[in-house]
A and B are shown apart, each in its own frame.
Chain A
């Protein structure tokens, strides 16, 4: 995966062209689940992502251990019992914007997009499709999305005792602020 990202970047460093690829290493992905017992909430501010505006391809990757909880014990359980982050340290999304033609990357403004691709969590890959928005600003590109995932779809085992405590579905928020990759 790391190689893949480097391969995506490499042409930009070599070819002298207008920025086609945009990148961030400081992206935000958070999730939130509500149950009568408690709210589950975690933030990850270390998301690495590359957006290729010529093809609409998008890659995201995160370290599971970079998810930050307000409660230390919840973070420990998340890593050890549910995500098994020692065994499966990363989550990856690889996909593309399907309605790329409706985005004018040369014009400042906000555009609705649909993104589809493969989301790999806990070593289980599922196809997902989600709505989002692309905002073209003078400094770069912002991307936002909200969608739901079901832990069961990713073989995340939740023991019966606490199953009702943990939300069946989690709302995932994605907020990216991309900068153009330097082209010399």
Chain B
């Protein structure tokens, strides 16, 4: 009985949805792939999942791909899904996996036998710079003041962010190192997820906070957090927050996301996927999604991406060693 009931619900919801679906049928003129298998090494609803779904949205609207099939296997920063993708999809020419900085770090901290090196880099798509904030009642009005406090005694300023060894922690480690201190001296307070971390900063429970810009953007706009510096190579468009580089600290860190192919594919098959993702990136729909989601375009494909990746892995490994986590 319950089964029938459930299918009925799903049918109702689907029917409701389809009444709204009046989008024009895509033309099949420039279809490059009959189907793409998209593997998301995270649960539905997160950043990797929305990246994968955004690719689907843009590719299908432009008629580049006939159909998409998704599989979500979440856990441990992608380290649960990655081995499954590598083992099950070896040599499959139409399989893609979404990944990024988090996966680089997770592979190192978990000492996983299968890491991001075991998949074939296709393209980096987006990136997000980090931002250092303080509560509005903080004595630190600008970066110089906070930097001086951190340089004098890193332990005196508690800094809230995501889980230990994650991108936020790594960014703080890079900052302390550039300030001439040992990253291990940090008073880093790890919170489970963005909600608790934001609450702790808003409530002035911690001295400062560090996270991806989008996480804090609305609080900054509303004046409930004071942004002191961003960690990207350039300023975040539409903001006047200086970068650490401008402030004289040689630190850049950004949380990037991209797609990879299964191991064992031929160079021609790899090129076909690179061409596909390049074409997706060129569609107006992709630009629209970037604007809507406030993602920063960081497109980098093929060999250039592969080179960036090795550099990123080496850099992350060094910081995590400094933090005592690798």
A joins B in a complex? no
* B interface residue numbers (CB < 8 A to A): none
